[in-house]
Amino acid sequence: MAYLLYSLVFITLLSGTLLYLLRAHWLASFTYQANDLASRLRYTFTREYIYSLLSEVTSSSSTSGSFRDDMEAGLSSSTFNLGENVEAGDGRAGLDDAAKREILGIMKARRMDFDQARRVYMERRFERNGIGADGRPRDPKFVSFS
């Protein structure tokens, strides 16, 4: 009986020592998995989950459509109101397809609402075209008389 007790104590101390010495390896993996699980649960049970559903619906169907389709996809807000176009019976094709895809991607990836995602999209577009955050060109040869 004493051998069993000593064996269990020895194995416990040995495994505890090994876990302590190798904690950087297994703790990082455990922390990553715990954080990933927490973010997935937080994401699933909040309103941001709607953005992924909207993105899946929009990507599964054709992205070109009318202003009504754009409103149903979540691409409207109080500051960017597409309801006026729908009420006026505007027959145009709606918003730009590439911009819609990129804005929906930003909404899904960063969990932002439409106005914030549209701002990020415009900042990226300005940066690609060499325009600074203040609206002025970043060209060193640019001369302004104001």
Residue ranges of domains in the chain? 63-129
Query: Which residues of the chain register pLDDT less than 70?
Result: 32, 39-66, 85, 90-94, 146
110-132 pLDDT, tens digit each = 888 888 988 899 888 888 888 88
Supply the pLDDT for residue 11: 94
Residue 144, by phi and psi: left (phi above 0), alpha (psi -120 to 50) or beta? beta
Supply the pLDDT for residue 112: 85
- Among 120, 105, 114, smallest CA distance to 77 is for 114
Gap between the Cα atoms of 4 and 74, Å rounded: 66
